[in-house]
Structure 1
């Protein structure tokens, strides 16, 4: 018989990642409509294309990993590694859920200035309030927490590889965004960068 904790451990990772992906699609479309152009700005440089590929592989692989976990498949790549306790898996679910909440809340702080990738045109102002007073990248910070939490909740080789790929993609993306924002906002961004840490 499957108890409530077992059900959480089986299905929560899929629900968390699936709803976050749907939310990102809706948020990007909503922002695109609000600004009158595509808010999705990947491409241009080889590093941007690499970041885009890594993000896509990490998300697609992560969805596959948590879906296979929920379906009870036991292939090597999607089978959780031995030795992890239920308590640690529950901690992973909580961290993933907190990361999801942080991501959504931080994106709300950006409003119509939300972008995916490096856009062709800079937003009308630099966002430095709300969670951005404490981290220059709270959206990515939330996503990284979610990826780490999912890798702990579902510690399969595929999920761990996807979390690592997502981390590398974030590192590449953040550096490109910093170059773009400095060129767009000049001294204002340099002052902000000096005052607020990249992550926490």
Structure 2
């Protein structure tokens, strides 16, 4: 394996995660300004608190593991398991990049209707075009692809566990958001749900 590929597999995953988190944080802040309110907010129920905790723990844990791997001082739980071929790890990184692109493009499709969590009030319209015409959850789909790709690119116990925790959080969040959208948009959401799959 060349030094360039080794550096890509060493630093790329941490940079990819950092860029994605920063982009989504800026998008949430920008949307909050545009709507004159908070675009970020999880409900107070146990399911929402659990989802938020899982999101924070999985992203924070993955960041710690990826940075530890990048600086080359990873404890065993953060270190990649031995024996995975570098081509498989490169394929994982490519999947993570594809997931990142899907996430950012789908977030862009939402525009001012972008929200994180289940908001107190619904956006002014339901987004059903662009990538949302192919999947009801392209942002989550992209993030899940990214999590899976990172777990393949840096197959440490910590990154794999974080990817699984992130998947569980997404499953909880998607179902809570579906109930919220059904209450908020009624028949129009029911028609959209029957026409477009939850994932792909």
List alignment gaps of at least 5 residues for structure 1.
Answer: none
Distance in structure 1 (CA, Å) of the matches to 2:43 and 2:159: 26
Q: Would you say 1:34 and 2:34 are equivalent positions? A: yes
Distance in structure 1 (CA, Å) of the matches to 2:100 and 2:89: 17
Matched residue, 1:66: 66
Q: Is the contact between residue 92 and residue 150 of structure 2 (CA under 8 Å) also seen in structure 1?
A: yes
Distance in structure 2 (CA, Å) of the matches to 1:136 and 1:51: 19
Q: Would you say 1:161 and 2:172 are equivalent positions? A: no
After the TM superposition, which residues 101-120 of structure 1 pair with which residues of structure 2 at under 5 Å, given as runs?
Answer: 101-120=101-120
Give the TM-score normalised by the residue count of structure 2: 0.98
After the TM superposition, which residues 1-200 of structure 1 pair with which residues of structure 2 at under 5 Å, given as runs?
Answer: 3-200=3-200
Distance in structure 2 (CA, Å) of the matches to 1:144 and 1:172: 13
List alignment gaps of at least 5 residues for structure 2.
Answer: none
Runs (4+) of structure 1 moved beyond 6 Å? none
Aligned residues: 200
Say which is worse superposed, 42-51 or 125-134, in terms of deviation.
Answer: 42-51
**Deviation readout 1:47-91 (Å, 9 max, x if unpaired):** 000000000000100100100110112411111112210000000
DSSP-derived class of the 1:17 partner: helix
- Pairwise CA RMSD: 1.0
DSSP-derived class of the 1:118 partner: coil
